[in-house]
Amino acid sequence: MHVELDDDLVTYRDRVRRHIEAHRPSMNRLPGTRSPKPEDLPEYRKWCASLFDAGFVGADWPVEWGGRADHNLLQDFVFDVELAHAKTPRPIGAYNLVSGALLNYGTTTQKQQYLSRIRRFEDLWCQLFSEPEAGSDLASLRTRAQRDGEDWVITGQKVWTTHAHIADLGFLLARSDHSAAKHAGISAFIVDMRSPGITVRPLRELTGSADFNEVFFDGVRVPADNMIGAPGEGWAIARVALSHERSQSQREDSISDAVRRLVTLSQHSTEPDGTVTAQRSDVRQRIGCFFARAQVSDLLGFKGLLKAAHGVASVGDSPVSKVVFTEANLDIASFAVEVQGNRGVLDEADPAVVDGGKWQEAFLWARGFTISAGSNEIMRNLIAERELKLPRDPTGK
C-alpha cells in the first residue's frame, strides 16, 4: 500500500530515518512476541530509550510527562512503517499498558517514580492479567490480594505472561474483595518481579522459543503504595489501560511484503516434474488472491487510523482489522510452506531448508496471532454485538 504524505509528514519521516541510521542497534527486529536475548538487553534498552528521547515513542503522553504538543496519530503510522521497513526492533513489554493506567489513575508520586523510568527504558514491564481459568473472562480471575498492615499479600497464578522472565516490574490485577461483585472486587498493583515468593516458569512454544511464562505468587508482599487507584478500581483501570494500549500504532510487518516474498519463493521452487511452481495457474491465482487480501488488510488498518485521528473511531475498527490481518497472514504462511513440498517440514537447522527456515517460523507464529490480543472468535463476538448490534443467542450457545 502506497500512502502520499504531506510536507510535514515527509519531514517527520526523514527525521525518523536519520535517527534509525544514527542509532540503529545491531539486533534485528523481533518477530511476534519474541523477547530480546539477555546479552542484547543493554543495547536494546539504549535503543528504546533513544526512541522515547527523540519523541517518537510516548509522544501522546501529556506534555508535562514527556509528550509532544504537536503529536498526531499519522506520525505514529509513519514511525512504525519506517521501523518495519528498516527491520529495527520496537519497544516491547507492557509500558503502554501501565503508562495509560498511571497517567489516568496514578498518584503524583507514582507518576514521578515510574513514568520517567519508562521513558529511559530502565524498567521492562510485563502484564499480569490472564490466569488458567480467566483468560478471555478476565473478571473471573482468582489471584488474591489480602491487606496485611502496610502491605498487600498476593497469592495465586498468572499464565501466558509475555516477557515475565526478563521483566523488572509487573502490572498486576488481583482480587482484593471476594465479597464484591465479579468486576467490583479487583484491584491493580505494581509488582517488583524480583520480590521473594515470585516464581517464573517459561512456556515453550511451537516455535521453540519460550517468551510466554507462568508466574506463581506465594505470599508476595507488595507495598500498599504500589496499588494503582483505589481498592476495587482494577477493572476500570484495566479498561482504560487497554484502551490506551490499543490506541497506539503497533504495526506488524505488512503482509503485502509477505506476498512479494511468496512470489519470489514460487519463482525459485520447482514441481516434481521440474516445472517452476510460479508457472502453475492455480498458484498464480492463489497469490493474486493473497495480494488482494493484503491490500484490504493494509487499507483497513489505515482507515482505522484515519478515523481515530479525526475522533470518529468505532468499536469494530480494531477487531475487524485484527481478524482480516491474522487470517490472511496465516493463509499466506501456510501456502508458503505448502509450496516448498517435502522441504516444508524442515527447520532452520537443516542445511536444505528454504530461505533459512523463515517461512516455517512465520507459519508457527501466524497461528498464535489469531489467538493473541483476544482470539478471533472473541473478536467476531465483539464485531457482532458491539459494532453490528446483533442480538445474542438466547440459548447461550
Residues acting as catalytic residues: 245
Q: What is the CA radius of gyration of the chain?
A: 22
CA 161 vs CA 32, 126, 217, 360: distances in Å:
14, 7, 13, 24
**Longest Cα separation, the chain:** 77
CA distance linking residue 299 with residue 185, whole number of Å: 41
Cβ–Cβ under 8 Å, residues 155 and 162: no
CA distance linking residue 209 with residue 33, whole number of Å: 10
For residue 347, count other CB atoms closer than 10 A to its CB: 11
SS3 134: strand
Task: Report the candidate in 288, 274, 269 with the shortest Cα–Cα distance to residue 341.
Answer: 269
Cα 353 to its chain centre, rounded Å, is 29
For residue 145, report the phi and psi dihedrals to the nearest 5 degrees: -120, 115
Q: Which helix (H) or strand (E) holds 216?
A: strand 212-223
CA distance linking residue 55 with residue 94, whole number of Å: 19
Cell numbers given for 251:
504495526
Angle at 217 between CA 212 and CA 221, to 5 degrees: 130
86-124 as b/e: b if 16+ CB within 10 A = eebbbbbbbbbbbbbbbbebbeeebbeebbeebbebebb
CA distance linking residue 315 with residue 222, whole number of Å: 35
Cα 264 to its chain centre, rounded Å, is 29
Task: Report the candidate in 244, 242, 161, 146 with the shortest Cα–Cα distance to residue 199.
Answer: 161
Task: Report the candidate in 154, 162, 214, 159 with the shortest Cα–Cα distance to residue 190.
Answer: 154
